[in-house]
Chain A
């Protein structure tokens, strides 16, 4: 019999598992759990695409509201840039400084206004214009301080402007630059003055009473003391009224701070070079340690495989 006939006869042989084995295997297979659903890219797409669409829709529908909110917040925080020609902006600035002031009351008004201008020469111009504004409203400058260092300039002015025209003055001063800080404080001093008036009236009554009495050394001393006290109170009252007549405005003008780029001694790719150097060092170490270890592991694996194969061959008597 040739080898071809031999293979043909062997292939023609049919081996069938006995019914008992078939039943046993069927029982085993019956206990198999339902196959887990495999995650294919088509199935993943079915989930991912609607989810992405839902997320995108949520973003699209919710973003405008957020933007609007952010814009409102930004506008609230943004410094007010008052253009000389912008009438509405001027009105807004005027309203910002508007503090109700009844004419029959004495109030102490103090304001601080910080403005930012673009160039150093704008600071100089701003100082001149602020002084002109102060004088045009019947006020004056109580102090002026200005300094320039290259492109950086700062000026601090203390202006005294009649209380009745302070709102107009502040609106004009605000036009000198971009407002970065503002502070207004008003202290009512009418009650204090009324108190002083009452005190003076009481003292004058006492004085009239003393003058009506017969003259004596003690009486003269008391009259002199009372007169002195009344005069002091009247002077203080006059000073308070005079001070209240003028509002104090602290005006601060400055150019934006110059940001100086920090110079390093290395180029922009220095970090990449350092990183590559360390990577190279790491690679050398990895090679020095890793290669012998890998070779050793390979030899061990080969030995284990040979031993296992020999044992298996011996078991099967090949």
Chain B
């Protein structure tokens, strides 16, 4: 598989993962482009025997997203002193109910990440765990906690 083919096939997956992870459409767009730039540089390191292209691209995307979170935290700390951050109106996906949208927005980035990987991208526990750098059991535990939290938020909203 060439890089062009990989990019074409998994662009939506990477974008969706980053969008849910960051819950910021503009940031997700930028990070998606950065992810594919970095992936192009590292393409020679990709080994198909060690995992699928999608898993590898999500690993690259996660590194990019974590760098983004770190820089955002530093920026927010500086800017919070001057002015409180504005709430961004973000829609996670087409076809989701407003209650589910608001419940997803209440999740932490780590919880949204595991939901995106296991539910949105439909990765198995092993692949998702490899991306997160944790054990498959831990990954499943995180997912259950996130889903429970979503369920509770929906009950409250109902």
Interface residues of B in 91-115 (CB under 8 A from A): 92-97, 100, 108-111, 113, 115
| Secondary structure class of chain B's binding surface, majority of residues | helix
Of listed A13, A20, A24, residue having the most chain B CB within 10 A: A13
Contact indicator per residue, chain B 18-50, by CB within 8 Å of chain A (1) or not (0): 011000000001001100110010011000000
Interface residue? A150 (CB, 8 A) = no
Whether the pair B113, A11 counts as a contact (CB closer than 8 A) is no
Q: Mark A278-318, 1 if CB is under 8 A from B, else 0.
A: 00000000000000000000000000000001001101111
Q: Which listed residue (A7, A15, A35) contacts B19, Cβ 8 A?
A: A15
The closest CB in chain B to the CB of A24 belongs to B33
Tell me whether A317 and B115 are in contact (CB under 8 A): no
Does the CB pair A25–B11 fall under 8 Å? Answer: yes
A1 and B133 CA atoms in complex are apart in Å by: 31
C-alpha gap A9/B115 in the complex (Å)? 12
Q: Assuming the A-B contacts A17-B11, A313-B110, are A10 and B115 also in contact, with contact meaning beta carbons closer than 8 angstroms in the complex?
A: yes
Query: With A and B bound together, what is the CA distance between A316 and B37 in angstroms?
Result: 24
Other-chain residue from A1, A21, A315, A317 in contact with B154 (beta carbon distance below 8 A): A1
**Among the listed A14, A17, A20, A317, which residue makes an inter-chain contact with B93, where contact means beta carbons less than 8 Å apart?**
A14
Query: B92–A9 contact, CB under 8 A?
Result: no
Interface string of B115-158 (1 = CB under 8 A from A): 10001101000000000010000000010000110110010001
Asked whether any CB of chain B lies closer than 8 Å to the CB of A191, the reply is: no
Given the interface pairs A6-B151, A14-B94, A28-B7, the reply to whether A318 lies near B108 with Cβ below 8 Å is: yes
Cβ-based interface call for A66 (8 A): no
Q: Which of A7, A13, A21, A22 interacts with B95 by CB under 8 Å?
A: A13
With A3-B151, A6-B150, A35-B2 in contact, is A13–B66 under 8 Å at CB? no
Is B69 in contact with A315, judged by CB distance below 8 angstroms? yes
Give the residues in chain A near B32, CB-CB below 8 Å: 17, 21, 24-25
- Interface pair B7/A316, CB less than 8 Å apart: no
Flag whether A53 is at the interface (Cβ < 8 A): no
> What residues of B have a CB within 8 angstroms of the CB of A17 in the complex?
11-12, 14-16, 29, 32
Which single residue of chain B is at the shortest CB-CB distance from A308? B133
Q: Output the nearest chain A residue to B39 by Cβ-Cβ distance.
A: A28
Contact between A25 and B33, CB atoms less than 8 A apart: yes
Q: Which of B20, B40, B92 contacts A31 (CB 8 A)?
A: B40
**Contact call A30/B15, Cβ cutoff below 8 A:** no
B29–A28 touching, CB < 8 Å: no
Query: Which residues of chain A from 8 to 64 have a CB within 8 Å of any chain B CB?
Result: 9-18, 20-22, 24-26, 28-32, 35-36
Does B77 sit within 8 A of A, measured CB to CB? no
Contacts of A313 in B (CB 8 A): 110
In Å, the complex CA distance between A17 and B70 comes to 24
Q: How far is it, in angstroms, between the C-alpha of A278 and the C-alpha of B132 when the chains are bound?
A: 47
Give the most central of A7, A15, A22, A29: most B CB within 10 Å. A15
What residues on A are CB-neighbors of B150 within 8 Å? 6
Residues of chain B with a CB closer than 8 A to A28's CB: 7, 33, 36-37, 40
Can you name 18 extra interface pairs (CB under 8 A) apart from A15-B93, A25-B7, A318-B111? A3-B147, A3-B151, A6-B100, A7-B119, A9-B96, A10-B120, A11-B120, A14-B94, A17-B15, A17-B32, A21-B11, A22-B11, A25-B32, A28-B7, A32-B2, A32-B43, A315-B66, A317-B110
Closest 10 CB pairs of A and B: A316-B110, A15-B16, A13-B93, A318-B110, A17-B15, A32-B3, A317-B108, A29-B7, A316-B109, A29-B4
Q: Which A residues are within 8 Å of any B CB, using their own CB? A: 1-3, 6-7, 9-18, 20-22, 24-26, 28-32, 35-36, 309, 312-313, 315-318
Measured CB to CB, the residues of B under 8 A from A are 2-4, 7-8, 11-12, 14-16, 19-20, 29, 32-33, 36-37, 40, 43-44, 66, 69-70, 73, 92-97, 100, 108-111, 113, 115, 119-120, 122, 133, 142, 147-148, 150-151, 154, 158
Q: Can you name 21 A-B residue pairings with CB atoms under 8 Å?
A: A6-B150, A11-B120, A13-B92, A13-B96, A14-B94, A14-B95, A15-B19, A15-B20, A15-B120, A17-B11, A21-B11, A21-B33, A28-B36, A28-B37, A30-B4, A35-B3, A315-B66, A316-B113, A317-B110, A318-B110, A318-B111
